[in-house]
A = this chain, B = another copy of it.
Amino acid sequence: GGFMQIYRLNIRNNTYIRVSLPAVCFVWQIAMVILFGVFIRYDEESDEKGWHEFKRSHNITSNIENDFYFRYPSFQDVHVMIFVGFGFLMTFLKRYSFGGVGFNFLIAAFGLQWALLMQGWFHSLDPVTGKITIGIESLINADFCCAGSLIAYGALLGKVSPVQLMIVTLFGVTLFAVEEYIILDLLHCRDAGGSMVIHTFGGYYGLAISWVLYRPNLNLSKRLNGSVYHSDLFAMIGALFLWMFWPSFNSAITNHGAGQHRTVINTYLSLAACVLTTFAISSMGQKKGKLDMVHIQNASLAAGVAMGTSAEFMITPYGSIIVGFCCGIISTFGYLYVTPFLEKRLKLQDTCGIHNLHAVPGMLGGFVGAIVAAAATEEVYGKEGLVETFGLSGKFENRSMSTQGAYQAAGTCVAIAFGLVGGVCVGFILRFPLWGDPADDFCFDDEAYWELPEDEETIPPVLEYNNHMINKHQDTHESQFSLEES
């Protein structure tokens, strides 16, 4: 018994990924080469010949009409959010910063390739040629699609191996493409900033996985499950880039012109309001009124999540502020009271608190979107504005706004369902004892997967000695020169 237990512990301690990680990376990357070779081509705005023909056929005289110039600045902002934003937000743990930013980098780079294929098959497969054509909007959508899995990583941070994360991403991107197809194409919802398809799905997906992977003895790693002064500052880099660029995130694929313009204004205002209520609740939540960096880094972003659906609608500036106002309160309360409750009562370990930053604000955003859509009138949007904003052409021409609202609400439920069911299934896959995840007493520790540099503490004494010696040398030297000069 005793021996077996130690033996098991040792098995679980095997975090060697020297075979599994390279194998997964190579197999998948080779698969990408083949699948891209078979399926992916440039679209008519990025193909050299195609663009010349497109300009002729559409009577376009200037290259500035290329979709690239409408979307590229937003794309780059989104790209920064995915890699620096999400990546550095997850560096807050004192000894898991390499894993936070490094594995985020790995799975996003894998996920976006798989996303281009999955989203292509569902949304832009040419039935005649059998090809998927891609342009700048596809790249944005691929980044968005990864975001779902990166959110899920937030719940799992420090408790899983990079191989497990690759699996989370493979299935996460796949599920994302399907639920997105159902929500955006079949239900014909609008969700440009992804309150539903990205945040609600990603949040519940991560929570469900984490619930299945519950570790009863995680408190053995408790001493590493926290921040230090400088790791909190690194996390603040991520938080601020997310906060600043969220207007670009929500507006990146909205309609050209007033659509993108208005989305930016709404998201900007909502986020600003959210900061104030976050600071307020954070201060109220501590005996002496002290602020908590976890709230500032996370809850202040909840408004961006919650505006994902409705920011492109005519929600009005004060409507945006009200949404931000409420989200700051709800999200900070979540960090103060709900996360501890979930961990104790529901056995749900959520390292980054994605429940409060993504799952709940995303769901709220979906319902806010439903209400704002249902309240849309021709008086406010204009006839063509209403058609354009909600895409009410073709077979959706006769859909009423209240019906649209109902479908939006249904879309939110689809996202929740996909997240929960998909997450539970993926969670069980991750429980196979093959993937090199760390033991309960070895979580939140970069030591498991990274060659770590020596400790910082070893420098100063050496340095001091060095400085001392140098100064001695230099002083000697100076006096020698002085002698020569004099």
Bound Cα distance A98, B447 (Å): 27
Q: A29-B277, A42-B265, A292-B450 are in contact. List 12 more A-B contacts (CB 8 A).
A: A21-B289, A26-B276, A47-B314, A48-B381, A48-B388, A48-B389, A63-B256, A64-B65, A109-B300, A112-B272, A445-B466, A457-B457
Q: Are A13 and B227 in contact (CB under 8 A)?
A: no
Contacts of A256 in B (CB 8 A): 63-64, 66
- Please choose the segment from A100-108, A177-185, A358-366, A402-410 that sits at the chain B interface, where 4 or more of its residues have CB less than 8 A away: A100-108
Contacts of A130 in B (CB 8 A): none
A458 to chain B, nearest CB (A): 8
Q: Are A10 and B286 in contact (CB under 8 A)?
A: no
Q: Kindly state whether residue A136 has any CB partner on chain B within 8 Å.
A: yes
A75 to chain B, nearest CB (A): 8
Residue of B nearest to A287 (CB): B18
Q: Kindly state whether residue A237 has any CB partner on chain B within 8 Å.
A: yes
CB within 8 Å for A62 and B65 given contacts A244-B76, A283-B18: yes
Bound Cα distance A76, B78 (Å): 12
In terms of DSSP, what is the predominant structure of the interface of chain A? Answer: helix
Q: Are A280 and B139 in contact (CB under 8 A)?
A: no
Q: How many copies does the complex hold?
A: 3
Please, what's the 1-or-0 string for A438-461, where 1 marks a CB less than 8 Å from any CB in chain B? Answer: 000110010101111111110110
Q: Are B110 and A276 in contact (CB under 8 A)?
A: yes
The listed residue (B22, B95, B230, B280) touching A22 by CB distance below 8 A is B280
Contacts of A134 in B (CB 8 A): 265, 317
Q: Kindly state whether residue A474 has any CB partner on chain B within 8 Å.
A: yes
Q: Are A228 and B268 in contact (CB under 8 A)?
A: no
Task: Give 4 closest A-B pairs by Cβ, nearest first.
Answer: A18-B289, A63-B257, A51-B258, A49-B382
CB within 8 Å for A283 and B22 given contacts A13-B470, A293-B98, A460-B457: yes
Q: Are B276 and A29 in contact (CB under 8 A)?
A: yes
Bound Cα distance A93, B447 (Å): 20
Residue of B nearest to A24 (CB): B280
Q: Are A64 and B70 in contact (CB under 8 A)?
A: yes
Bound Cα distance A47, B451 (Å): 54
Residue of B nearest to A324 (CB): B29
A12 to chain B, nearest CB (A): 10
Q: Are B284 and A28 in contact (CB under 8 A)?
A: no
Please, what's the 1-or-0 string for A22-46, where 1 marks a CB less than 8 Å from any CB in chain B? Answer: 1001101110111011001110011
Query: Which residues A404-439 have CB closer than 8 A to chain B?
Result: none
Residue of B nearest to A19 (CB): B289
